[in-house]
Amino acid sequence: MKLQLTLWLLGWMLKRALKRKPHFRDSLSEMRGLDWGIATEDLAIARHYRMSPRGIETGRGLPVDLDLELRFADAATALEILRKPTQQAFLDGMMAGRVRLVGDSSDLQKLQKLLKAL
């Protein structure tokens, strides 16, 4: 339940940043949008985000056309890493097999740049 709430809150924060933070808006305009999602490996908890300079849409589940997916071993792992989403935390999680990246790693770097602007 905590992870679901955290993912919903993340969507709310992204929408708010798009409206209120020029640096976030500029960064998103430079990359021309990013479609990404977060889920547990068993897909029990999943949420996707479609971000463009025109707006941000969020929803449940993981559509197949996403640019990037972050899959976590379980909800506790997801919460632990998402609370401090540093590059080192993701790398350590991937090395330990607790985080799986589906997509291009350059999209992960773009996402981390955007999340810093939050």
Cα separation, 67 vs 101, in Å, equals 11
pLDDT of residue 4: 95
DSSP secondary-structure letter at 50?
E
C-alpha atoms less than 13 angstroms from C-alpha of 107 in its C-beta half-sphere: 16
Contact 46, 8 (CB under 8 A): no
pLDDT of residue 63: 92
Please give the model's pTM, rounded to 2 decimal places.
0.88
Q: What is the pLDDT along the chain (118 residues), one digit of tens a residue?
A: 799 999 999 999 999 999 999 999 988 888 888 999 999 999 999 999 999 989 999 999 999 999 999 999 999 999 998 888 778 888 898 999 999 999 988 888 888 888 887 7
Give the chain's end-to-end CA distance (angstroms, integer).
23
Q: What is the crossing angle of helices 22-31 and 105-116, to 10°?
A: 160
Number of domain units in the chain: 1
Range of the domain at 23: 2-116
**What CATH number has the domain bearing residue 50?**
3.30.1050.10
